[in-house]
Structure 1
Amino acid sequence: MLAAGETPEFLGPIVALLVSAGLIGALFVRIKVVPIVGFLLAGVLLGPHQLGLIADEEAVHSAADIGVMLLLFTIGAEFSVERLSRIKRFVLGGGTVQVVLTTAVVTGLFALLGQDWRVGVFTGFLIALSSTAIVLKVIAAKGATQQPIGQAAVGTLIFQDLAIIVMVLLIPVLGGESDGGALGIARALGTAALVLTAVLVVARKVMPPLLERVARLCSPEVFLLTIVAIALGVAYVTSLAGISEALGAFLAGMVLSESRHSAHALSEIMPLQMIFSAVFFVSIGMLLDVGALAELWWMVLIAAAAVVVIKVATAYTAVAVLRVGAPTAMGAAFLLAQIGEFSFVLQQVGSDYGLTPAGLGAEGDQLLVAVTVLLMAATPALGALGGTLARRLPERAAPAPADGDGSEPSGDTRDRVLLSGWGPVSKNLGHYLKVNDVPVTVTTLSPDLAAEAEAFGHTVVRGEAIKAGVLHEIDMERVKLIVIAENSAEEATHVAHVLHGVAPGVPIVVRPTDAPDVAGLYEARVERVVDTHRAVTEPLGRTVLDLLKIDHVDMGRPNPTAVDLFRPDPDTACAHAETIQPVLPKSAGCTECLRQGRRDWIHLRLCTSCGFVGCCDDSPGRHAGLHADRFAHPIVRSVEPGETWAWCYLDSAMLDSADTPAEHP
C-alpha cells in the first residue's frame, strides 16, 4: 500500500506513454496517416535510447504481448471459418508460395555473398513475415477488407502466422542443436496439430453455451470479462504446448466468430484491444536506438530497399499464380512489403541458438529493428503506391467464381431504419415498417429479444448501439433514420449524443419510456420526440415514414389508430392469457394474402401478441395458424362481425370475451 500523498512509480511512465501516443497519433490522423506510425514514433522518443521516460521496459513489453493476443483475437472473430474457407486459395496457395519463395531468394542471395546457408534461411524467415497488425489496420482504413486486394493480403498473412510454428521448430536445426532431427520436428508438428485440433473442438463445444448464459445476464461488465478470459485462456493453453499464444488467441477468435454473439463480443473488447495494441506499437518503437544507427543509416536504407524489392517481387508472384489479375497482385504485394512484428519473436528464439539477422550479431539486431520500424511506418505510403500502380495495369477478366474464391454473399443493401433496443414499442413499429416494406436493423443485448426480432424477419446486431463494434457491424452508411423507443429519457439522451456523433446527418426519433425531457433531447440533436403517453405506435410509425418521405401503406385498414385489446372472461381457463397485449391490426385483410395479391380467405383472425392479421385454418393459406406456430404467439381472436371469441392454439381452447369489440379503446 502507498502512503498518503505518495505517487506510484509506474503512474508517471504510463501517463507519458498514453499522452504522447495519443497526441502524436492524433497529429498523424490529422495529416491523414494511420495512427500506428505515430505510436511507433512515440516509442522511439520515450524509449531508453532517447528520452528514457519509461524505465520498466519489461512491463511495457508484457502489456504489448497482451495487445498482440487481443489484436489477433479480434482478427479471428472477424474471420469466421466459413469466410476463411472462401479465401483458402490465398491462404494455402498464395501464402505458401510467398513464404517459400521469399526464404529461397534470401538464402540464395546470402549464398552468393559467401554466407552460411543457415544464416540465409534464418534471415529469410525474418523477412518473409509481414505485419498482420499494420496491414489489417491499413486495409480497414481503406475499406478494402472485402475487396480482392484485401482478401489476397489477409490470406497470405494468415498463412504467415501459421508458418511461424514451423519456423520456430526449425530454428534449433539451423542452430545445430536440434533434438531428434527430422523425427523430433515431425513429432513436434504432430503434437502442435493435435493441440490445435483439441483446442478448436473443445472451444466449439464450450464457448457457445457459455456465451449464451453470460449474454442472458445482460451485463456488459461480466460479458467483457468472459471474453477476455476466453481469449487469454486459450492463448495460455496453446503456449503450454509450445505453440504461439498469439495463434491460440486467433483460434479462439475464429471459434467465437461462429457464435451469434461475435458482434457483441467485438463491441465490448474493441476499446481494450485498441489500448493494448497501441502499447504494442509503442514497444516496437522503443527498441530502436537512433544514436547507434547514426553510422549505419546507409545500411538501413539499402536493407529496407532490398526488403521492399524482394517482398514485392515474391508476393506479386505468389498472388499472380492464382490468376486473379495483375492489379490485385500488385496492390497486395505492396501491402505486404514490410517486416512483421512476429519477426521479433523469431529473432529472440534465434538468439538462444546463436543466430542473428544476416549473421551480424548485435549490429544485425539493431538493423532489423530499424528496417522494421521504417517499413512499418512506410506501409500506408507503400499501400497507396501499390494502389496507384494497380490502377494503371490492365485488368484481366476474372474467371467465374468458384468455391473458395473469397466472394461474400450479397445481402439486403437497401437503406434501412435502426431500432435501438427491442421491446413492445419497437416490436409494433418493426411490424409497421415491415408492412410498408422498410428494412429494419435492431440492436439489443438480450439473446431472447434478439431471437424474437430475428424471427420477425429483421436484421439483428447483438450489443448496444453506442459501441463501436456494433456500429461497424450495422453499416451506418445505409441507416437513414434512427429510432430510440425502449429507453428512459436520460438513457435516450446519452444514446442520441453518441449516435449523432457517429452519424451527424441521420435523423433521430425518440419515444422515451418515461416523461420526456424534451429540452435535453433536442440538445442531443434529436429530430423528433414522440409523446410517451400516447397509447399506440401508429403515430410513431407515421412520423418515421414522414421523415423517410415514404407513402404510407395501410392495406385497407379501416381505422388505423384503433388499438385492439381482447379481454378474456375471468372464468376462462387458459395458461397463455398473459401473452395478450394491446395490438395494432396490421391490415384489414390477411396480411400475407394481401402481400401475395390474393383475397381468397374465408375468415380472419388477429394475433393478440403482435397484431398480425391472418386467414383461418379453413382458408387456403392458413396464415393465422402458421404465424402462431412460427412465432410462438398462441392466441388469435376472431375479427368477423359479431364474433367475440378467441382461440389458443397451444391449449386448443376457446376463450370467451369479457366485453365486445365496440368497447375496446
Structure 2
Amino acid sequence: MPFVLAAGAVPPFLVEVVAIVMAAAVVAYVSQRLGLVPIVGFLLAGVLIGPSGLRLVRDPELIDAAAEVGVLLLLFTIGIEFSLDKLARIKRLIFVGGGVQVGLTTALVAGLCLAFGVGWRPAVFTGFLVALSSTAIVTKLLGDRGETGTDAGQGAVGLLIFQDLAVILMVLLVPALGGGDVTGGELAIALGTAAAIIVFVLVVARRLLPPLLEHVARTCSPELFLLTIIAICFGTAYAVGLAGVSISLGAFLAGLVVSQSRFSEHALSEILPLQILFSATFFVSVGLLLDVGFFVRNLGLVLGALVAVVAIKLLTTFVAVRVVGRATPVAAASALWLAQVGEFSFVLERSGREVGLTPLGMDGVGAPLFIAATVVSMALTPLAAPWAGRLAGRLRERGAGRDAAATPPPDPEAFADLENHVIVAGYGAAARRLVHVLDGSGIPFAIVTLSPDGAREAEAEGRRVLRGDYAKRHILGTVGLDRAKMMVVPDDTPGMTHRVVSVARALSPTVRIVATATTMEEAEELVEAGADRAIATDLEAVLGLFDDVLRRYQVEPAEILRHEEALRRGSYQAFDGGVMDRPSVRCELDDDCFSTRTVTIREGAAAAGKTLADLDLDRRLLHAVQIDRAGETLREPGGAAALAPGDVVLFGGTPQAFVDAADLFRTSDASAPAPPDLPAMPAQTAPWIDTSAPVHLDADPDAGCTHLDHVHDVTPGTQGCQECLEAGDRWVHLRVCMECGHVGCCDSSPNKHATEHYHATGHPVARSIEPSETWGWCYEDEVML
C-alpha cells in the first residue's frame, strides 16, 4: 500500500531542515549587516538552534549527513579551481612541508601532554587532533577572497592536502593507540591500497572523464550535465572511501580530474549553488556541537587551551613553510590561515571515543574542552583572514628595509643611460612573463621591486634591477621616470598600485602608465588616478600589457594579433622561460619605435583647450603625429587643431623634449605627491574654507605611514593659507595639518607654507583641503594616504 501523508502532518525531519535553513539565513544576514563574514553567522546559527540553545535540532545523524555532503561539494569545487598543474608545482610543499607540519605539531603537543602527566597514548592522540586544520573553512575563505592562487594561499592548501592524506594513517593508528592490535603488515596494505586508488583516480579517471563530459555536454541538457557532475563527485569520493582514504580527499581528486576538461568552468557554475547550500549546513553543524554551558563554566580553561593550540599551530606551520624555502612573509601568512583545528578532528575524536581515547586523557572534560576550543578557533578564522595579507605585506616591507640597509645605496649613474625605456614596477608573476617578452624583443627596460628574492632572481638573469619602494619619487627618479616611454605596474595590491600610479603621474605627465587591477571598479579608480590604461582581467592582463607595449614601439598590429592568439591558445605557459626556447616576438626596432609617446590630455592640463599652434611645439622640439578622440583619428594634425580633455595624442620628440614640455600636460592637482620643485600653477586667492567644520582623514593603514598616531580630526584655523593671508600673497592649492589644523599652501605655490610648517613643527601628516580631494600625505615616509 503506498505511503500517504495525512493533510497537515509535518515530517519530523522537515522541522530540523527548516530550522537549519531559516536560522542560517537570518543569522547570516545579521552577521553581514554587522560586518562579519557569513561563516561566523552559520556557526552562531548552529549554537542558537542546537542542544545548548533553542533545541530545534534533535537528529544529529541527519545534520552530519548534510554536512558531509557540504564538505564533499566544497572540496570538489576547490579541486576544479586548483587543477593538476598547480598541484604538481607545489608537490614539495605538500609532502615535505605538510609532513613537517603534521609531525612537528603531533610531537610538540604530545611532549607537552607528557610533561603534564598525560599518558603517552592519549598524548599522541591529542597531537593528532591538534595537527589538523579546517580544510572547509580555509578553502572557502581563500576562494571568497580570491587568494587561492597567492603564495600564502598555495602554502595553506598544500599543507591541508597533506593533512587530509595524514588522516588515513591517523584513523588506522587510533585503534592501536586505544590498545587494539594493528600489525605492520595490515598498516602497509592499507596505505598501499590508498596510494593505488589515488593513482587510479589521477591517471585512469583523467583519461576517461574529459571525453565523458564532452559527450554529455553535446546533449545540451543542463539537467543531465548537472547529474553527471554530481555523480563524478560522489562516485569518486565513494570509490576512494572504499580504500580507506578520506572521502573529502576523494572529492578533491574528482575536482582535479574535472579541471582538466574544457568544461570545468561550466561544471563549476552548475554545482556552485548546491555547494553554497550544503557547505552552509556544514558550518551550522559545527555550531551545534558547542556546549554553551560548559563553555561559560570553564571559560578560563577553554581560553587557555585555545591560546595554546593557536600558538602551537602558528609556530609549526611557520617552520614547515620556511623549511621548503618559502619566504618569511609567506610562511607567516600561511601560519595565520591554519591556526585553527579542523573538521576532520571531530571525526578522529569520535573514532578515539569508540576505543576509549579522550583528548588530554581527561574523561568527561577532554571532549567538551576540545570541541569548545575547536569551534572558537574556527569562528575566529574568518576574522583573522584579512590580517594574513596585511601581515605578509608588513613583513615584506621590513625585509625590504633590512635588505636595503645591507645593500649599497643605488647608484644614479647605473640607470643614467636609459631613455625611452619601460619601467616595470614590481616583480611578481605577471611581471616575470612581461619581462621575458621585453627581453627577447630588444625593448630596453628596468625593474623596480621591494622583494629581495625577486631582485636577486632578476639580477641572476642579468636584468637591470633597482631595489626600493617604487611609490617614492626618489626611487622613480633614480630609474629615470622622466626619460621613460612607459611605466607598467603589473603586480600589486590595489592600494599600492593606486599610490604608485598617483605618484608617477604627478612626477611625469608624459610617461604612459599601464597597470593591472582585480576588478573593473579598481581599474576605473586607477584611470582616475592617472593611469592611461588599467586592465582588469587575468590572462588578458598579461596580453594587454604585451599588446600595449609593442604597439607603442610600432610593431605591426597584425603581427601582435597573431602572437596574442598563439599565446591565448597556450595560456600562461607560453610566457614561461622554461617553455619558450626563444621569445615569440622579434621586433625590428628603429629610432621611430622610441621617439614617440602617447599622452592623454587631462582636465586641468595647460594644453587642454589650446591649439597645437598655441603650444609652440616647434620651439619645444615636439611634433604631433595624430590625435585620437572618441574613436576617431586625426593624422598629421595642423596647428589649428585644438586639444580637448580626453584626447590621446601621439607626439614625436626626444626624451629631453618631453621632460622640458611636461608643464603642458601636468594637471592642476599634480602637486599632491609631487616634489617641492614643481612649477607653480595659476593661483587662486579667494578664501573659501569652512573653519567651523572639522576635517577628517580616512588614512589607509596599509599605506606604509608610521605616523598615523599624529592624525586627528582637526578644525582649519584660517579660511586660506595662514601666512599668505597675512602677507597678501597668492597660493595654488591648500593643505591642512592633521595634528594642529594649520592651513598652508602646497609645493606648487610660491611660498610652500605647508611644507614649511612641517619643517618648523615636525607635524608629519597633511591632507588636501581642495574640493573633492580627500588624500593625505606623510612628509616623513613620503607616502600618499
Measured against the shorter chain, the TM-score band is 0.5 to 0.7
> Distance between the aligned counterparts of 1:189 and 1:241, measured in 2?
9
Q: Which runs of 5+ in 2 are unaligned?
A: 400-450, 461-490, 492-536, 545-556, 572-628, 635-785
Look up the match of 2:72: 69
| Aligned match of 2:526 | none
What does residue range 124-143 of structure 1 map to in structure 2 within 5 Å?
A: 124-143=127-146
**Judging changes above 3 Å, is the alpha-carbon distance between structure 1 residues 319 and 414 closer, same or farther for their aligned structure 2 residues?**
closer
Per the alignment, residue 238 of structure 1 pairs with 240
Q: What is aligned with 1:412?
A: 540
1:428-447 to 2 correspondences below 5 Å: none
Match of 2:151 in 1: 148
Cα–Cα, structure 1 residues 385 and 201, in superposed 2: closer, same or farther, change >3 Å?
closer
Shift of 1:414: 6.6
- Matched residue pairs, number? 431
Q: Distance in 2 between matches of 1:223 and 1:133?
A: 25
Contact 1:21 1:38 in 2 (8 A): yes
User: Matches of residues 506-517 of structure 1 in structure 2 within 5 Å?
Assistant: none
Distance in 2 separating the partners of 1:281 and 1:82? 30
TM score, norm. by length of structure 2: 0.52
1:550 and 1:87 map into 2 onto residues whose CA distance is 46
Task: Please give the alpha-carbon distance, in whole angstroms, between the structure 2 residues aligned to 1:68 and 1:46.
Answer: 21
| Distance verdict in 2 for CA 1:298–1:230, change over 3 Å | same
> Given the superposition, is the C-alpha separation of residues 19 and 437 from structure 1 closer, same or farther in structure 2, using an over 3 Å criterion?
farther
C-alpha contact 1:132 1:157 (8 A) present in aligned 2: yes
Identity of aligned residues (%): 52
Q: Determine helix, strand or coil for the equivalent of 1:291.
A: helix
Change in Cα spacing, 1:299 to 1:145, as seen in structure 2 (3 Å) is same
Aligned to 2:57: 54
CA deviations on 1:171-197 (whole Å, 9 max, x unpaired) are 1221121332x2221121112112222
C-alpha contact 1:47 1:54 (8 A) present in aligned 2:
yes
Q: Report 1:564-575 matches (<5 A).
A: none
Correspondence 1:528-543 to 2 at 5 A? none
In the alignment, which residue of structure 2 is the partner of 1:590? none
Partner of 1:85: 88
Q: Give the SS at the match of 1:412.
A: helix
Q: Could you tell which deviates more after superposition, 8-17 or 257-266? A: 8-17
What one-letter code is carried by the residue in structure 1 that aligns with 2:541?
T
Distance 1:314 1:292, change over 3 A: same
Residues 179-578 of structure 1 correspond to what in structure 2 (within 5 A)? Answer: 179-180=182-183, 182-393=184-395, 394-395=398-399, 397-398=452-453, 400=457, 411-413=539-541, 550=631
Q: Does the 8 Å CA contact 2:16/2:57 hold for their aligned counterparts?
A: yes
CA contact (8 A) 2:31 2:38 kept: yes
d(CA) in 1 for partners of 2:179 and 2:567?
65
- Coordinate RMSD, CA, aligned: 3.0
Change (3 A) 1:368 1:33: same
TM (norm. structure 1) is 0.61
Instruction: Sort the Cα spacing of 1:302 and 1:213 in 2 relative to 1 into closer, same or farther, 3 A.
Output: same
Change (3 A) 1:455 1:227: farther
Tell me if 1:21 matches 2:149. Answer: no
Structure 2 partner of 1:4: 7
- Give the Cα–Cα distance (whole angstroms) in 2 for the partners of residues 333 and 149 of structure 1: 9
Structure 1 segments of 4 or more deviating over 4 A?
434-439, 454-460, 548-553
- Separation of aligned partners in 2, 1:101 and 1:456: 44
Alignment pair present for 1:34 and 2:3: no
Kept in 2: contact 1:131–1:338 (CA 8 A): yes
**Is 1:300–1:370's contact at 8 Å kept on the other side of the alignment?**
yes
Distance 1:301 1:202 in 2: 48
Instruction: Note closer, same or farther for the CA distance 1:102–1:46 as it changes in structure 2 (3 Å cut).
Output: same
Is the CA contact 1:50–1:289 (under 8 Å) kept in the aligned structure 2?
Answer: no
Kindly state the Cα deviation for residue 89 of structure 1 after the two structures are TM-superposed. Answer: 2.5
Q: Which amino acid aligns with 2:254?
A: A
Match status 1:122 vs 2:120: no
Q: Conserved in 2, the CA contact under 8 Å of 1:337 and 1:382?
A: no
The answer to whether the 8 A contact 1:34-1:138 is kept is no
CA distance in 2, matches of 1:53, 1:167: 34
Cα separation, partners in 2 of 1:219 and 1:549, compared to 1, 3 Å: farther
**Cα distance in 2 for residues equivalent to 1:415 and 1:31:** 40
1:457 to partner: Cα distance: 6.6
Specify every segment of 5 or more residues in structure 1 that has no aligned partner in the other structure, as ranges.
417-433, 442-453, 461-547, 554-665
Deviations 1:459-487 (A, max 9, x none): 99xxxxxxxxxxxxxxxxxxxxxxxxxxx
Deviation track 1:144-181 (CA, whole Å, cap 9, x = no partner) reads 2222111111111111111111111121221121332x
**Distance between the aligned counterparts of 1:215 and 1:170, measured in 2?**
44
Distance 1:438 1:18 in 2: 51
Amino acid at match of 1:308: V
Say if 1:217 and 1:120 are closer, same or farther in 2 by CA, change over 3 A.
same
